[in-house]
Amino acid sequence: MNLKKNLYKIKGFSLIELILTLVIAGILGAILFTLTSSHPLNSVQPLILLKKEATLINAMETVNAKYRNKLKTGYLDLDSFKNEINIIVKQIDPKINTSSYYILFDNNHQEIKDLISKRILKVELKKDDLIIVNIFTK
């Protein structure tokens, strides 16, 4: 009888308490892992994207300023301006890809390439997966 009383007096954790503790620790560990492993990486992505956007916008604004200056002085020649665009953009960021070509619109309002009249110049600046487009006219 004395042995039975001594067994009941032994303090410790039951199997259910141990399992619940492990489950709670696992859930907290998963939450902590999720917050520390993905959150800092995800918070950096918008900043990188914003920097790329700012670089593209800065490059296009510089091209726009050159265009406005040529319009103001009366020396606008779209052919020479088209050739200058790549030089202007590469001075800002050599990683920006430029594409400039003449366009016009058909009767269905669809854009087509123009090799004759050369009145509308379409300029595309691209960096990684971002593209900014502008149209210049005579």
Per the CB < 8 A criterion, the answer to whether 105 and 111 are in contact is: yes
Q: Give me the domain span that covers residue 98.
A: 37-137
Per the CB < 8 A criterion, the answer to whether 48 and 119 are in contact is: no
| CA–CA gap between residue 105 and residue 93 (Å, rounded) | 32
Of the candidates 107, 102, 85, 97, which has an alpha carbon nearest to the alpha carbon of residue 137?
102
Is 8 within a domain?
no
Q: Looking at residue 115, what DSSP letter applies?
A: S
Is 30 within a domain?
no
**What's the domain count of the chain?**
1
Q: What is the pTM of this model?
A: 0.66
pLDDT by residue, tens only, the chain of 138 residues: 555 555 555 666 678 878 888 888 888 888 877 766 655 556 677 778 888 888 999 999 999 999 999 989 988 888 899 999 999 999 999 999 999 999 999 899 898 898 888 889 999 999 988 899 999 998
Q: Reduced to 3 states, what is the DSSP secondary structure of residue 122? A: strand
